[in-house]
C-alpha cells in the first residue's frame, strides 16, 4: 500500500514510524496510508528551513517572484491531477475541486507581486540632512497548519506569500487528505525553489506541538475548528510566536420579505450544500423575517432540493459528494437527530441517502430543517455538513441580534432589494465578512480573509495585504550624513523639529 510521506530539504520520504489510514470517502475503503511525523522528523524539517533561510532571505524579491510565476504555470498544467487527488481523499466533486484550486492559484498570482508589495516607505529631509525610511523584512522560519476541507486552497493562502516575503516554510497539512498538498509542494520544487525553503511534514498533534514550541519557528498560521484554533493561538503566543488562528463558523443569511426568493433559493442551494457543507463559509442558517417569507422559502427550497445529486467524486454531474469520514457522517446525523428531538421540523431528511454502488461511502443527503430555535444544540454547533436550518423572526433587527449573539462571526449575508436595509446591515453586523445578495462572500486574493469574535484569534487576517504584514516585520531606519567640518554638540532633550 502507498504511504504518503514528508518533503524535507527537497527529498520526499516516510520516516518509518507511525502511520494512519487514508480513506476514499466515496467508497469508504482505505486507499493509502500517511506517515505521522515524530518529533525528530519535524526537528529535521526545522533544521533544513533554518539552514536555507540566510540565502533565501537575501535573494532579490524579483527572483523569488519568478519562482511563483513558474509555480502558477505548473499548477495550471497539473490541475486535472490535483483535482483527482483532492477528490480521492476528500470526496469533493471535480468541479468543486477545480474551483478550490483556482482560488488558491489566485493567491499565487498575488504573491507574484512581491517586488511591489514589499516596497517600503521613504521620506527625505524629515529634519535637516536626515532621511527616514521603512522596509519589510522576513521573520525567519514560519509554519502553517491546515485543515482537511481545502487541501489545496488553504495552504496556498499561506506559503506562497510567506516564501516571496523571504521566509522559509514548514507545512503540516491534514493527515486525512495529504496527497494533493504534497504533490503541489513538489511542483514548487520543480518551479525552482531551493531545497529547504519549503518543507511538508505530515502528522498529528505530536508534529503540531513541535511547531508551536520550537524557538526556531517565528510565526504560525492555522485554519480549523475553534477549540483547536484557541489552543494553537494560546500555545504559540505563550512561546513568543506571532500567530493567526482561524476557527469555526455559523454563517447566517437573512431573508427579507422583499427578497427575490427564487434567486435566494438558488444561491442558498450551492452555499449550504456545496462541498457537502464542509466549508468554513458554508451558509448553514437562513433567518427568515416573517412567517410569509419563511413559508415561501421552505416551500421553494424543499422543491429545489429534489434536484440535488449526491454521489462519488469522479462524476462531475453530481452536486456534492460524501463527508470526510464515517465518524463525521455519524456526527452530522446526530445533530439532525437532536434538532428533531428538540422540536424542529425535518422538512428534507438526508440521514438515509441512497447512492447506488457506493453504499459504504460516507454520504449525507441535503437536509432542510425548519422552526429551529437559538436554544437548540444543532443551532449552537458548527455542523459542517449539508444541513440548512431555518429560523423565524419578526424583524430585521431581531435577525441581526440573533447573529450578533452567536459566538462565531465568520461570514453572513442578506437577501433584499432594499438598499437602505443592506447598507444598515453591512455597517452594523458584528461579522467579519459580509455579503449583499451574495451567500459566500469570500474575499478575492488581493483583499484579506478573516472573521470576528471566536472565528479568529490574532490581529491579522489571512492572505492579501494582511498576509504581507503577517509574514514580515517592519524596520524603520533614520540616517544622517553630516556635512564635512560641521559637527553638532551633544543634545540631552528629546530631538524635535522645533
Q: How many CB atoms lie within 10 A of CB 352?
A: 9
Query: Of 106, 101, 59, which Cα lies nearest the Cα of 79?
Result: 101
- Characterize the bridge pairing of strands 456-457 and 242-246: antiparallel
Which residue is catalytic, options 83, 112, 165, 280? Answer: 280
Contact 312, 355 (CB under 8 A): yes
Any idea of the CA torsion for 175, 179, 182, 188, to the nearest 10 degrees?
-150
Has 280 been annotated as catalytic? Answer: yes
Look at the alpha carbons of 342, 348, 354, 360 in this order and tell me if their dihedral is positive or negative.
negative
Cα gap 272→335, rounded to integer Å: 16
Query: Of 152, 187, 178, which Cα lies nearest the Cα of 21?
Result: 178
Cα gap 50→169, rounded to integer Å: 9
Cα gap 119→470, rounded to integer Å: 15
Cα gap 332→383, rounded to integer Å: 6
- Residues belonging to the active site: 280
Amino acid at each position: 500500500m502507498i504511504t504518503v510521506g514528508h518533503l524535507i530539504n527537497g527529498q520526499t520520504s516516510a520516516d518509518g514510524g507511525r502511520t494512519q489510514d487514508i480513506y476514499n470517502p466515496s467508497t469508504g475503503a482505505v486507499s493509502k496510508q500517511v506517515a505521522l511525523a515524530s518529533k525528530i522528523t519535524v526537528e529535521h524539517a526545522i533544521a533544513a528551513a533554518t539552514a536555507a533561510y540566510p540565502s533565501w532571505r537575501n535573494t532579490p524579491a524579483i527572483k523569488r517572484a519568478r519562482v511563483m510565476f513558474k509555480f502558477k504555470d505548473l499548477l495550471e498544467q497539473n490541475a486535472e491531477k490535483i483535482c483527482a487527488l483532492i477528490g480521492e481523499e476528500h470526496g469533493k466533486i471535480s468541479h468543486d475541486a477545480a474551483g478550490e484550486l483556482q482560488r488558491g492559484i489566485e493567491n499565487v498570482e498575488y504573491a507574484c507581486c512581491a517586488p511591489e508589495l514589499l516596497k517600503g516607505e521613504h521620506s527625505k529631509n524629515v529634519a535637516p540632512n536626515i532621511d527616514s525610511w521603512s522596509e519589510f523584512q522576513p521573520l525567519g522560519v514560519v509554519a502553517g497548519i491546515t485543515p482537511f476541507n481545502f487541501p489545496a486552497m488553504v495552504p496556498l493562502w499561506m506559503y506562497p506569500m510567506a516564501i516571496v516575503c523571504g521566509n522559509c516554510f514548514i507545512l503540516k497539512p491534514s493527515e486525512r487528505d495529504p496527497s494533493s498538498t504534497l504533490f503541489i509542494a513538489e511542483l514548487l520544487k520543480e518551479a525552482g525553489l531551493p531545497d529547504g525553503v519549503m518543507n511538508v511534514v505530515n502528522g498529528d498533534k505530536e508534529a503540531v506541538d513541535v511547531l508551536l514550541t520550537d524557538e526556531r519557528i517565528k510565526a504560525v498560521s492555522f485554519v480549523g475548528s475553534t477549540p483547536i484554533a484557541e489552543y494553537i493561538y494560546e500555545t504559540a503566543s505563550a512561546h513568543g510566536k506571532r500567530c493567526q488562528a482561524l476557527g469555526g463558523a455559523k454563517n447566517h443569511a437573512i431573508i427579507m420579505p422583499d427578497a427575490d426568493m427564487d434567486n435566494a433559493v438558488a444561491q442558498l442551494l450551492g452555499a449550504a450544500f456545496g462541498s457537502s457543507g464542509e466549508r468554513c463559509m458554508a451558509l448553514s442558517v437562513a433567518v427568515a423575517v416573517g412567517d410569509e417569507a419563511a413559508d415561501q422559502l421552505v416551500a421553494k427550497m424543499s422543491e429545489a432540493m429534489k434536484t440535488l445529486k449526491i454521489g462519488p467524486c469522479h462524476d462531475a454531474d453530481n452536486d456534492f459528494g460524501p463527508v470526510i469520514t464515517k465518524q463525521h457522517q455519524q456526527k452530522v446525523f446526530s445533530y439532525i437527530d437532536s434538532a428533531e428531538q428538540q422540536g424542529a421540523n425535518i422538512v428534507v431528511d438526508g440521514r438515509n441517502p441512497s447512492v447506488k454502488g457506493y453504499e459504504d461511502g460516507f454520504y449525507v443527503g441535503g437536509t432542510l430543517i425548519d422552526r429551529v430555535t437559538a436554544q437548540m444544540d444543532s443551532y449552537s454547533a458548527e455542523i459542517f455538513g449539508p444541513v440548512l436550518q431555518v429560523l423565524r423572526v419578526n424583524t430585521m433587527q431581531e435577525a441581526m441580534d440573533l447573529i450578533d449573539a452567536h459566538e462565531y462571526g465568520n461570514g453572513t449575508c442578506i437577501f433584499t432589494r432594499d438598499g437602505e436595509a443592506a447598507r444598515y446591515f453591512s455597517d452594523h453586523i458584528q461579522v467579519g465578512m459580509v455579503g449583499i445578495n451574495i451567500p459566500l462572500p469570500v474575499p478575492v486574493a488581493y483583499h484579506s480573509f478573516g472573521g470576528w469574535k471566536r472565528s479568529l484569534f490574532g490581529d491579522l487576517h489571512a492572505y492579501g495585504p494582511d498576509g504581507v504584514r503577517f509574514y514580515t516585520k517592519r524596520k524603520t531606519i533614520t540616517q544622517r550624513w553630516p556635512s564635512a567640518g560641521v559637527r553638532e554638540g551633544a543634545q540631552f532633550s528629546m530631538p524635535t523639529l522645533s
